[in-house]
Structure 1
Amino acid sequence: MAYQFLKGLSAITCLVLLSACAVQPTPREAAALKEMPELVPIPAAIFFIGSTEPDRETAYRIDEQEYGSSVTRNQGWYEYELPAQKTRSQRFFITKTPITNYQYGAFIRDTNRESPDVDIVDWNSYGISHPFESTRKYAWDQNGYPTGRDEHPVVLVNYFDAQAYAQWLSVKTGKYWRLPTEEEWELAARGLDGRSYPWGNNFNPAKANTADLGPHDTMPVGSFPRGASPFGVLDMAGQVYEWTRTPGEKGRMTVKGGAWDDRGCGVCRAAARHHRRADMKHTLIGFRLVQEWR
């Protein structure tokens, strides 16, 4: 009887081992899977977007407490937000995290498009406070993205680069990929109830990559699972601003989400928005994509 038991156990073990081997992808398959952004389904919904005057006042007070001054109030950072309202969206998929250097690298190899970088003349033309030297650790070279940053969000990409990546991915997969609208982005970030942040109405620096706790740099995407939105989308507060397809003022495009060097964090609210030149390549701006549900 013991022999029969051991014989049966041995057969089961072999089957388990064979099954395990059968599901292990080859290195090439594993690389292809890593290149493909993970998607989260967002249902068709009626939901809240934008902010009220009390929402914006709260954001200014948060910033004043953190910065010790009224710099964001004086510059009217939150006066351009959409007014609080209900709107409707069809269902769609959105990438769970921002597009990574590794994922963008496949696009660069296939298309020979210019790698993420910015020259000092263009950088100075943006009129921003960050010194040009701060961009160098994010810039790609002939060998690709900076060492150790494969899972960090790609930055130093402008609106047109993001569009080109979406078009390439559409051809590659036979699905329609594009940048999200501001409304789609807000739905994915705050769910149906119009909350201020993906996790609720109060900012928590332990749930996002911001300057409140550091490391004052981009981080591997998905590093803050506790900061997930109601749909399970990650990195929608802090980390990097994200391009949307929604036009802003003076021919600029809308970016959302706040970034790793923000603190407070009024600008990390889902309703907050900045307008940036479509050709801007910044260390604080990346992107994620929508795949239409067809």
Structure 2
Amino acid sequence: MILLVGLLPVPAAAQLLLPTPELRVEKDCGICPEMVILPDGLYMSRAPVMVEEFRAYVQETGYKNDGWGCKWNFPGFEQGPRHPATCITYQGAQIYADWLRSKTGKPYRLPTAEELTYAVMASETTNYWWGQQIGRDRATCLGCGRAMDAVGTTPVDLHEANPFNLLDAVGNVWIWTSDCNSATCEERILLSGGWSSPPSDLRMSKRVFNGVSVPFNTYGIRVVRDFE
């Protein structure tokens, strides 16, 4: 005899969750950024592209940003080699990703807003990946709980990594995405907040946009690489 029993709802605590990825850092070249593998298979730079990485790229390629505004090597405050590179335009970010692609033969590009949000939030649905409140010393922003808030950038490994192993998941620098703000794509969307941003700007629901040739000392880069 077969006894048929109605299915009961599975308690939330017992639901099968996507496991936290094992920390595995890869580099496709000596001066390439460190990449981590997200649970969906996408590779993403573990941190925003750092000053030391961007400097190596500039030295190899002779890259120059001759337009108006701040420069990557003169952002208006002191930076160390492990600070995120700033004053990068969208065009400059795209050229950097193109250079990584040609140097390594790997499919590097800039992240979409959806990809960046997924990586930053690490499957959490709260305001920030660590919870509802900004707390103290979780990120670099104006009001994030450090005595030197809003003075400039900080090293990318100053704060705890998120569950997907991203450093500086939010704060420190806004990140250019490949998403357009209009049909003409004259402006691109940035996410994640910067060192001078209030805590509300670090929520991934907050989006700003700017022209592709506009540099600010709060703008930086992350890159992604598609799974092959």
| Aligned partners of 2:72 and 2:88 also within 8 Å | no
Within the candidate set 36, 39, 56, 1:40 is matched to 36
Percent identity for Structure 1 against Structure 2: 27
1:64-143 correspondence runs (5 A): 91-115=41-65, 119=68, 123=69, 135=70, 139-140=72-73
Partner of 1:247: 180
Aligned-CA RMSD value: 2.2
Q: Which runs of 4+ in 1 moved over 6 A?
A: none
Counterpart selection for 2:153 from 193, 197, 218: 218
8 Å CA contact retained: 1:157, 1:282: yes
The runs of 5 or more residues in structure 2 that have no matched partner are: 1-28
Amino acid at match of 1:182: A
Contact 2:97 2:108 in 1 (8 A): yes
The TM-score with structure 2 as length reference comes to 0.77
SS where residue 242 of structure 1 aligns? strand
Structure exhibiting the larger radius of gyration computed from Cα positions = 1
2:209 to 275, 280, 286: 275
Structure 1 residue aligned with 2:9? none
Return the letter of the residue paired with 2:187. Answer: R
How many residues of Structure 1 are paired with residues of Structure 2 in the alignment?
193
Describe the shift of the 1:118–1:200 C-alpha distance in structure 2 as closer, same or farther (beyond 3 A).
farther
Which one has a larger percent helix, Structure 1 or Structure 2? 1
**Partners of 2:131 and 2:32 in 1: CA distance:** 30
Q: Deviations over 1:62-95 (max 9, x none)?
A: xxxxxxxxxxxxxxxxxxxxxxxxxxxxx20111
Output aligned runs, 1:163-242, within 5 Å: 163-212=94-143, 213=146, 214-215=148-149, 216-225=151-160, 228-242=161-175
Structure 2 counterpart SS, 1:245: strand
Structure 1 residue runs without a partner (length 5+): 1-31, 45-90, 124-134
Instruction: State the Cα distance separating 1:238 from its structure 2 match.
Output: 1.1
Equivalent position amino acid for 1:140 in 2: N
For residues 51-70 of structure 1, the aligned pairs below 5 Å read none
- Which one-letter code corresponds to 1:223 in the other structure? L
1:292 equivalent in alignment to 2:226: yes
TM-score, reference length from structure 1: 0.61
